[in-house]
């Protein structure tokens, strides 16, 4: 009986002792190392632990993503800069390529001109060789005539006629020699040579070729216009007007018509034909008001 009473008295104390382990962390899911967990609590604790680890991983990934994004932005900026530089380089390369083409064409033109010049020199030499006997013959005649003059008295007028005859023969020989140098050439070749000589200011050679082009009926409008320009520059105004009229009668839509009208008007003014000149100036202002020639005229 005493034993039973003792056990009964100790039961409340045992209950308190049994409940006290929670005070030391048993069943505490917030503890770093919980113990005394039920199977459900263990699963909850494991889930909580996994969530914490996941949060850490997410934070780490977020930091990595932000770092990668910053690097990507920097890389994109560098890429855009490189792309712009490549674009500029492409433009420069295209410009260099175009300039190279132009230079190559100029070199080709120069080579063609040198070839044409060599051919011209060779032809001239051949012509000179062919005409050498004729020149010798003329010189022989000249020598005989001089001997005759020395032995026979002649008047001053006869001597002048003799000089004129000799000069005429020499001019004829030279003219034939020049004409022979262009025989057999195409219209395109002659036009190219004529323009070359005109630009150089060698109007004599240019004139021979433009006249030949007119006789060949190769671009006769332009050739007559250029003959007019040569005559205009040499102040042969009547001859210039003659060629200008032929040119415009053949083709009146050419790009050089404003210059043709302007020079015709000036040529007529030089010949004191001011009334006729004013008609050409008026036609120039009415038909080509925006041309530099029309703008140069005083209202």
Residue among 267, 260, 263, 259 at smallest CA distance from 292: 259
Domain of 290, CATH number, reads 1.25.40.10
Whether 234 maps to a domain, the answer reads: yes
Q: State the Cα–Cα distance between residues 95 and 157, nearest whole angstrom.
A: 71
User: DSSP letters along 55-95, please?
Assistant: HHHHHHHHHHHHHHHHHHHHHHHHHHHHHHHHHHHHHHHHH
Whether 89 maps to a domain, the answer reads: no
Contacts of 169 (CB under 8 A, 6+ apart): 138
Q: How confident is the model over 43-69, as pLDDT tens digits?
A: 787 777 778 788 887 788 778 778 787
Q: What is the dihedral of CA 149, 173, 208, 115, to 10 degrees?
A: -130
pTM (2 decimals)? 0.45
pLDDT at residue 209 above 50?
yes
User: What are φ and ψ of residue 298, in 5° steps?
Assistant: -80, 140
Whether 253 maps to a domain, the answer reads: yes
Whether 263 maps to a domain, the answer reads: yes
Which of 105-109, 113-117, 146-150, 188-192 bottoms out in mean pLDDT, i.e. has the lowest? 146-150
Q: What is the dihedral of CA 159, 163, 164, 165, to 10 degrees?
A: 100
SS3 158: helix
Q: Which has the higher per-residue pLDDT, 154 or 89?
A: 89
pLDDT at residue 153 above 60?
no
Q: How many domains does the chain have?
A: 1
Query: In this structure, what token pair is assigned to residue 214?
Result: 């007119």
Q: State the Cα–Cα distance between residues 14 and 237, nearest whole angstrom.
A: 146
Whether 222 maps to a domain, the answer reads: yes
- Answer whether 258's CB lies under 8 Å from 291's CB: yes
Q: How confident is the model over 71-93, as pLDDT tens digits?
A: 777 777 777 878 887 887 877 77
What is the extent of the structural domain holding 215? 197-299
Whether 273 maps to a domain, the answer reads: yes
Whether 158 maps to a domain, the answer reads: no
Whether 104 maps to a domain, the answer reads: no
Terminal Cα-to-Cα distance of the chain (whole angstroms): 152
């Amino acid at each position: 009986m005493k034993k039973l009473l003792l056990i009964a008295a100790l039961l409340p104390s045992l209950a308190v002792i049994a409940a006290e382990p929670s005070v030391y962390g048993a069943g505490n899911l917030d503890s770093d190392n919980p113990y005394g967990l039920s199977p459900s609590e263990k699963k909850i604790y494991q889930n909580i632990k996994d969530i914490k680890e996941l949060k850490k991983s997410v934070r780490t990934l977020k930091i990595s993503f932000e770092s990668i994004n910053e690097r990507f932005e920097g890389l994109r900026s560098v890429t855009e800069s490189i792309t712009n530089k490549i674009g500029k380089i492409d433009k420069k390369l295209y410009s260099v390529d175009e300039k190279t083409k132009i230079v190559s064409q100029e070199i080709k033109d120069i080579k063609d001109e040198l070839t044409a010049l060599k051919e011209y020199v060779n032809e001239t030499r051949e012509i000179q060789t062919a005409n050498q006997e004729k020149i010798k013959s003329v010189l022989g005649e000249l020598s005989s005539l001089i001997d005759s003059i020395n032995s026979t008295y002649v008047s001053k007028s006869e001597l002048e006629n003799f000089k004129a005859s000799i000069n005429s023969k020499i001019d004829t020989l030279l003219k034939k020699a020049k004409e022979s140098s262009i025989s057999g050439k195409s219209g395109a070749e002659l036009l190219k040579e004529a323009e070359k000589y005109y630009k150089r200011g060698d109007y004599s050679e240019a004139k021979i070729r433009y006249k030949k082009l007119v006789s060949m009926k190769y671009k006769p409008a332009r050739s007559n216009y250029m003959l007019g320009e040569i005559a205009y520059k040499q102040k042969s105004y009547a001859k210039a007007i003659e060629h200008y009229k032929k040119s415009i009668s053949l083709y009146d839509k050419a790009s050089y018509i404003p210059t043709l009208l302007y020079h015709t008007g000036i040529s007529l003014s030089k010949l004191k034909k001011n009334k006729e000149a004013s008609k050409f100036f008026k036609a120039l202002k009415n038909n080509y008001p925006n041309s530099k020639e029309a703008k140069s005229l005083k209202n």
